[in-house]
Structure 1
């Protein structure tokens, strides 16, 4: 099972997103965890590598199981850990081999092209307190089959 950590930076009411060249979909910067790395370390390392900036005030916002299915058969599974940061230090790259970086309004998350599970978890991360947990099932073409979501807020 692959483990992925991503990080959504929020600054001045906007979010920093990476537009991937393959599908043109937008994502929060992130990537695969390395052996022995914590989810926190992975999120920060991947964010710094992909953006050329340092995230500030980093917090975990969601933990998700992602399933890729062919009919009823699960052909791939990974865990996604979504973090947020309130602010960054430095100037982001404009473009890298990973894609184009840009600032977008939080409301843009509702409309821009992205995996529907990403839309669910990034909107939650940007707009809500607490934690979100969930399972997303996709076809091999990344069409959303189903999502199951739970949330918790510490009192």
Structure 2
């Protein structure tokens, strides 16, 4: 099972998002874990590689199972784990464009309306607006139409001293 980590920086009521060229959808910068790497190390490495900036004090906000099915929801085609981190500052100036897409700052409220996978929308909105950690499973068709979701929230502290 593939392990993916993404990291959302929230600063001055703005979020740094990556617009992917294939669908024109927005995502938080991130990518695949390397063998032997922790999810924290992956979050910092992938964010830095994709943005040219370094996140300050990132912390885990969500753990998700993403399931791609044949459309009926009965047969799994692909499955991966997604770990979502958030940071409230960064060091350095982010790139404008990368091989992964275009980096753009958007108001936090735009997470409600920007084009993106619905599971991403839910986990990024949680990351910017709720305390604790969220756990969930998202079932999609091959075209990323959300079929169903299961979400649990932990109200324990999220490791951010400002919470």
Instruction: Give the structure-1-normalised TM-score.
Output: 0.99
Task: Give the whole-Å Cα distance in 2 for the aligned partners of 1:110 and 1:28.
Answer: 14
- For residues 131-146 of structure 1, the aligned pairs below 5 Å read 131-146=133-148
Superposed displacement of residue 23, structure 1: 0.1
Structure 1 stretches of 4+ moved >4 Å: none
- Aligned-pair Cα RMSD in Å: 0.7
Aligned to 2:106: 104
More strand by share: 1
Aligned to 1:29: 29
Instruction: Give the structure-2-normalised TM-score.
Output: 0.94
Q: Which runs of 5+ in 1 are unaligned?
A: none
Structure 1 counterpart SS, 2:124: helix
Superposed displacement of residue 154, structure 1: 1.5
Match of 1:81 among 57, 80, 83: 83
Aligned to 1:122: 124
- Report how many aligned residue pairs link the two structures: 155
- For residues 49-60 of structure 1, the aligned pairs below 5 Å read 49-60=49-60
Task: Give the whole-Å Cα distance in 2 for the aligned partners of 1:96 and 1:39.
Answer: 23
Structure 1 counterpart SS, 2:143: coil
Task: Give the whole-Å Cα distance in 2 for the aligned partners of 1:112 and 1:154.
Answer: 29
Structure 1 counterpart SS, 2:138: strand
Structure 1 counterpart SS, 2:103: strand
Task: Give the whole-Å Cα distance in 1 for the aligned partners of 2:120 and 2:138.
Answer: 9
Superposed displacement of residue 19, structure 1: 0.1
Task: Give the whole-Å Cα distance in 1 for the aligned partners of 2:113 and 2:121.
Answer: 9
1:95 aligns with 2:97: yes
Q: Which runs of 5+ in 2 are unaligned?
A: 158-163
Task: Give the whole-Å Cα distance in 2 for the aligned partners of 1:131 and 1:93.
Answer: 29
